[in-house]
Amino acid sequence: MITTFDVVQNKVDVSPVLSLVGPKQAPFLDLVGIGKSVTSTTYEWFDDRLPKRASTLAAAYTAGTDTTLTVASGDGKYFAVGAVVKVGSVAYKVTAVNGDVLTVSALNTDANHAVGDTILFISIPRTEGQDFANGTYFPATMRKNITQIFSDYVQISGTQSSVAQYVNTNVFTSEVQKKLLGLKIQLEMAVLNSIYHEPTSNADARMMKGILQFLQEDGVSGSGTLTEDNFKAFLKEIWQNGGDPSVAIMDSASAETFNTFQADKLIVQRNDQTAGRVITGYLSQYGHIRLIVDRWMPPNTIIVLSDVNRVKVHPLNGRAFFYEQLAKTGDGVKGQIVGEYTLEVRNPETHGVFSVA
């Protein structure tokens, strides 16, 4: 017996339709795009760790008494013996590193420093003809994600396939597009919000790690009232971490708050008959930030990306959204739309998530 399982022509790649359906329904997917196929349900990549050029003091420093500077937890690895650092107007030479405690000697007039003051890494000056000396080493970080399966079903009766329509509409195409819209929204919500879950058997479903989990684990975190000063401070932290903020994705309430920034400086022409204002970008010394509203973002949450090319959604090889007809069991046609995708986020420490209090 030949069934529809044996007819390969019944498999139809509908992934190109995905990019045509509801462009405003899934702005994050439209922003980052669909990347190359991956060849395994587990996708791994290596990130080069970008050198951190600034930190903050975790303890106060008293000139003439103290001989050490304590940097924020975990940042001591970014400083090496022989490095010159600067706090305020005072330059110091690092003579020893013990965890996050730097033994230093002042190179110019010393001064007191408070907790939270910025410490900058300047350079490691070398002497002429110097012998081999250890510097800082930043090993690559291995990251991974897993693929997640998305599917939906289409069922059309034999009668419906045969009757004439009031409008010139292909019922199959229309139904596939509706199902694809739902699946595209599911994929959008997953790449934003999904929590990593790797089951041990087929009795449970795999769930990819969403970008919010990537950034909450390894990205820059900020929180507080959404004011211009707080948002600038958040962008500055990303910038100091090696990022170049370029895009912010947020919920509608956060976007409304951006509309109030510097509203007192707005000038309306007398002949302007349109009320309201929509801010689509924010300009600061840390970059020109494109603002995107995404209805699937959690409330009071803003994601800031430095480079959208570092974020990509990948289908499993041969598993980009496709339609295939299922075995016929009655007077009708049954089929399924299936896709399997994962999310790649490179250098999450150069991106960030801001939680609005």
Q: Confirm whether 103 is domain-assigned.
A: yes
Co-location of 253 and 238 in the same domain: yes
When comparing pLDDT for 273 and 93, which is higher? 93
Residue 65: which CATH number? 2.40.10
Q: Residue 153 carries which side chain, given as an amino acid letter? A: Y
Q: What is the mean pLDDT of residues 310-318?
A: 94
Whether residues 341 and 223 share a domain: the answer is yes
| Vertex 148 angle, CA 181 and 316, to 5° | 90
Q: How confident is the model at residue 352 (pLDDT cuts 50, 70, 90)?
A: very high
User: Residue with structure tokens 């030949």?
Assistant: 2
Residue range 312-327: mean pLDDT, rounded = 88
In degrees, to the nearest 5, what angle opens at C-alpha 246 toward C-alphas 243 and 250?
110
pLDDT averaged over the chain? Answer: 85
Closest C-alpha among 253, 236, 229, 244 to residue 302: 253
Integer CA distances (angstroms), 117 to 54, 55, 114, 249, in order: 10, 8, 6, 30
One domain for residues 39 and 186: yes
Of 123, 154, 181, which residue is a domain's last? 123
Residue 190 CB neighbour total at 10 angstroms: 21
| Domain shared by 170 and 311, yes or no | yes
For residue 284, the SS3 value is: strand
pLDDT tens digits for 55-87? 899 999 999 999 999 999 888 888 888 899 999
pLDDT attached to residue 104: 96
- Contact (Cβ atoms closer than 8 angstroms) between residue 10 and residue 327: no
| 282 and 303 together in one domain | yes
CATH code (residue 157): 3.90.1690.10
Does the residue 187 lie in any domain? yes
Task: Compute the C-alpha angle 240/109/233, nearest 5°.
Answer: 20
Residue 113 binned pLDDT confidence (cut-offs 50, 70, 90)? very high
Give 135-173 pLDDT, tens digit per residue: 666 667 889 999 999 999 887 766 655 555 544 455 666
Count, residues in the chain: 357
Using 50, 70 and 90 to split pLDDT, how confident is the model at 188?
Answer: very high
Tell me: do 197 and 248 sit in the same domain.
Answer: yes
In a domain, 268, yes or no: no
- Angle at which helix 171-193 crosses helix 211-218, to 10 degrees, equals 10
The answer on 8 and 35 residing in a single domain is yes
- Residue 343, exposed/middle/buried by CB under 10 A (0-12, 13-18, 19+)? buried
Clarify whether residues 220 and 325 are in a common domain. Answer: yes
- pLDDT digits over 297-307, tens only? 999 999 999 98
> For position 136, what pLDDT does the model report?
64
Asked if residue 298 belongs to a domain, the reply is yes
Q: Which residue range(s) make up the domain with 40?
A: 4-47+142-263+277-356
- Measure the CA–CA gap between 290 and 29, rounded to whole angstroms: 15
Total of domains in the chain: 2
**Of the ranges 102-116, 128-142, 166-180, 252-266, which one carries the lowest mean pLDDT score?**
166-180
The answer on 219 and 80 residing in a single domain is: no
CB 212 within 8 A of CB 301: yes
Tell me: the pLDDT tens digits for 210-228? 999 999 999 999 999 999 9
